[in-house]
Structure formats: structure tokens, C-alpha cells
Amino acid sequence: MANQAKSAMDKKSKKQSQIEKLQREVKELEEKSQMELGKYIMKKWNINSEEDSEKVFSVIDSLKDQAINLLEQKDSSSSKDGGMGKHEDQTTPPTH
């Protein structure tokens, strides 16, 4: 009986370790995605210096509401046409 309890505890510990590892991997993927998005914006907006990046923060902040509305519109149009929404901008975003 004691061996079964120990075995169950060992399995639980291994599963917990796997969960923690997967959570770290998810966090790393999220960070990588954010970095890729930042690089994409920097490239598309021709931003080359730290001074320019400060201006970009202001622009992003000022466009927040408009961007949210656009993203919500795209989401609703994608769901209406089965995920085959029309893309006005033919620019291909970076792949992950």
C-alpha cells in the first residue's frame, strides 16, 4: 500500500514538473511573438533609432482604440465568412 502511494506521488510530481515546463515554454513563445510583432512594426514604419521608438510608443497609444475597433471588425467578418476574411493589406506578417 505504501509503495502505491509513493508511486502515485512520484507520478504527480512528474506531471507537475511537466506542467511547469510547458508553462515556461508558453511564456517564452508569447515573448517571442511579442518581439516578432515589435520587429515587424519597426520595419514597416521605418523606425531606426531609440529616439524614433519613443515616438512609436506615443503613436501606438494614440491609435489603441482605433486598432481595437479594426481588430474586432476583422474578427466578426472572419466568423461570418468562415474564417476567409478579405485582407486589405497584402503585406505578409512574419511567420512564427
DSSP annotation of 49 reads: S
Task: Kindly report the average pLDDT of the chain as a whole number.
Answer: 83
Q: What is the average per-residue pLDDT within 34-43?
A: 91
Distance CA 60, CA 57 (A): 5
Domain boundaries, position 59: 49-78
pLDDT at 80 over 50: yes
Helix axes 50-62, 64-80, angle to 10 degrees: 60
pTM: 0.59
Q: Are residues 31 and 13 in the same domain?
A: yes
Q: Are residues 39 and 67 in the same domain?
A: no
Distance CA 27, CA 19 (A): 12
Residue 32 binned pLDDT confidence (cut-offs 50, 70, 90): very high
pLDDT at 85 over 50: no
What integer pLDDT is reported at residue 75 of this predicted model? 84
Report yes or no: 96 and 36 within 8 Å, Cβ to Cβ.
yes
What integer pLDDT is reported at residue 61 of this predicted model? 93
The structural domain count of the chain equals 2
Residue 87 binned pLDDT confidence (cut-offs 50, 70, 90): very low
What integer pLDDT is reported at residue 93 of this predicted model? 55
21 lies in some domain: yes
28-33's contacts with Cβ under 8 Å and 24+ in sequence apart are 29/96, 32/96, 33/96
Q: Are residues 3 and 38 in the same domain?
A: yes
Which segments of 2-63 does DSSP mark as H helices, in order?
A: 2-44, 50-62
